[in-house]
Amino acid sequence: MKNPSKPDISIQETVSHFDANFDQHHPFVEGLKIENCIISDVDIAGAEFINVVFQNVTFKDVNFEKLYLRDVQFIRCDLSLAKFDEATMQRVEFKHCQLTGLSMADARLQNVMFKSCNLRLAGMGYSVQKYVQYTECVLTEVDFYHNKWKHILFEDCELTGSNLSNTNLKGIDLSDSTFDFLTVRMEDLKGCIVNTFQAQQLSTLLGLIIK
């Protein structure tokens, strides 16, 4: 699969105070780099961010539901427990971010990359993901229940305990990642690409005994 298209970034101004640059009555931000700050107790549900970079930003009690992101980067940000439910993302990158417990249910992701991120316990149920790449990420106990995937790439990820039930894994290559166990239905595994060791682990789902 080809890599996701990268964000087209052209920053016009760099700021370290989010509140002064965001109007909840007109929730649209474009052409900003927001860095080295804490954003807390803000409801930005339904807002639009286009051509924006967040770097070294900690988000606390921020509501991102139904957010629209295009050409956006999050670099070394803490988005633990953030709510991205029903968000739409186009050409978005998360690099070296803390995303523990993130909620991204019913989201639509296209050309999105997660690089060196911790997504442990994230919830991504019922999401649609197309041209999405996970590289060197912790995906322990992530809920991918009932996802629709097309052109998804996993590189050197930890997937132990992830829930892949009702997600079609045909053509999905897990061979470069690791897991001790997965929650997955037998019918969803058809066409999934795994290495020899992983095949032995998954054989228990088939009731096989390997001698």
For position 122, what pLDDT does the model report?
A: 98
Assess contact for 153 and 24: CB atoms under 8 A: no
Give pLDDT, residue 194.
93
Q: Give the pLDDT confidence score for residue 41 in this predicted structure.
A: 87
Residues of the chain with pLDDT below 70 are 1-2, 205-211
Spell out the residues 6+ positions from residue 144 whose beta carbon is closer than 8 angstroms to its own.
124, 125, 127, 162, 163, 164, 167
pLDDT of amino acid 179: 94
Encode pLDDT of 150-168 as tens digits: 999 999 999 999 999 999 9
Task: Tell me what pLDDT residue 210 has.
Answer: 56
pTM: 0.93
Whole-number pLDDT of residue 97: 98
Whether 12 and 31 have beta carbons less than 8 Å apart is answered as yes
Tens of pLDDT, residue by residue over 37-49, are 999 988 888 999 9
Report the phi/psi class of residue 98: left, alpha or beta, with left for phi > 0 and alpha for psi in -120 to 50: beta
Tell me, which fold does domain 24-206 have in CATH?
Pectate Lyase C-like (2.160.20)
CB proximity list for 175: less than 8 A, separation 6 or greater = 193, 194, 195, 198
